Structure 1
Amino acid sequence: MSNHTFRPFLDAFLTAWKCSSLMELEHFISKDYQARGVSIENLKVQHEQPL
């Protein structure tokens, strides 16, 4: 991707991010993306497991 195409993409993404616009951010999210829920219990379990 050249700078001529990347810079407008980045500017549009950052504008959507700064505005917290889900409608605008939707254009940058993959159609295959599947969100996962996060809970405090999940974070504690992951944190307490040894590395």
Structure 2
Amino acid sequence: MLSCIDGKVTYRYQDSKTKRYQTKTVPGADFLWLVLQHVLPKGFRRARNF
């Protein structure tokens, strides 16, 4: 996360297609939703296959 001003969050990410870093600005609620999609509910375990 680069900045949070007036309820808008600016963050940097790596584009999977071009492998280049991009910046994106979204409303705070949208950013929170993007982050919380990666949090598992209580009692769940993460299983990774290699």
TM-score normalised by the chain length of structure 1: 0.26
The structure with more helix, counted as a fraction of residues: 1
Q: Which has the larger radius of gyration?
A: 1
